[in-house]
Every structure is written in structure tokens, then in C-alpha cells.
Amino acid sequence: MNHKKLIEDGVRTHLPTRQIARQLYFLSPSFAFDGNHEIQLQLYERICEFLRLPLSAIRLIGSGHTGFSLVKNTQFDKEKSDLDIAIVDSHLYLELFELAFEATSGWRDITKFSGTPDQQKATKERFLKYLRKGIVRPDLMPSSPRKADWENFFGKLGDDYSEFCNGISAGIYARELFMAAKQESAINAYASTLGIL
């Protein structure tokens, strides 16, 4: 599957960016698992079991899916590149939102974020910036047993699939709309660098 051609043809024919994003991430096969779809399914099933979610909630995005970074325009390299997983589930999004809110006493206690006081403040702001876009970034969450479990699970998953990538990370999207919006901005950035937008 030529993902670059799919994007470029879509932009040149003035297909709505959301439709390009849906074709790209919901209908086309992933680059990192080309010829190994059963292993990709196995990866998804492990994530689903850990989070108790349906398979339809899991999507591979980023260069692991397309074969190149839409934003950096670099090629996917299984020895250097991470796999980025999008988890679309409003209940999980809200659960982690609430957990972060409680852990920080309504964002007033930034000491739960890692780093120096300046880094804690910056991490909190980044976390809230993504939250406003309908995304929870677990790597930016305040410390909690749930965050530790998340990091342990995805760290082990990265080790188990090291033949295909250099690590696995995941973000949680409140709804498909937010995932599509994030991917649309990456598609627009890519098309702009090519001068076809």
C-alpha cells in the first residue's frame, strides 16, 4: 500500500482531509506489520485485554502505520522508531482525566508531575493542552499506580515486539473525531511541505 500516494492523490483531488485520514488509518494496512498481520492482531489483542476494550478501539498511527513521519518526513526505522498506538475510548479518556484531576487536587498540586518545579509546570501545561484536544497522553500524566502499570505494560510490550520497533507508546482519544482531527493536522503539514495544499 502506497500511503504517500493515497495522501497526495487525495489532496490533489480536493478530497476532504478527514476523508483522507479515515482512508489512511481505518482502511489501509500498516507498514510496520506488512506481511505480519497476525502479529499486529496479536499486539492489538494484548492491548485490548490489558484495557478491557474492543479491538475496534485500537489503531496504529504515525510512521509505523504509514512508513514515514507525516510531520518530520523521516522514514520508519524499526531499530529507531516507536510504534504509536491510538486508543479511541471515551470511558478510558474520562477515567484518566478524572485520575489526573484527583491526583493533582484539580491541577493545583503540580508536584505529582515529574521533574523540577519548572518541568512540572511545563508538563502540566502540555498535559492540559492535549486534554483540550480530546487526548490523554499517559507519558505526561501525574504519578499514580495506574500510570506505573501503564508504563510497565507498554514497556514490556515494546520489548516483546522489538523485532518490529524500538518501543510502543499510546495515547487515548475521547472520540474518533479527536483522533481524526490530530491526523488531519499531520496530513495538512505533510501536504504543505510538498507544496500541494
Mean pLDDT of 19-40: 92
How many beta carbons lie within 10 A of that of residue 35, not counting itself? 7
Per-residue cell: 110: 503540580
pTM equals 0.92
Q: Write down the pLDDT at residue 72.
A: 87
Per-residue pLDDT tens over the stretch 98-139: 999 999 999 999 999 999 999 999 999 999 999 999 999 999
State which H helix or E strand residue 85 sits in.
Answer: strand 83-88
- Judge whether residue 145 has pLDDT over 80: yes
- The amino acid that residue 35 corresponds to is G
- The DSSP secondary-structure symbol of 159 reads H
- Judge whether residue 86 has pLDDT over 80: yes
Distance, CA of 137 to CA of 187 (rounded, Å): 21
Distance, CA of 56 to CA of 196 (rounded, Å): 32
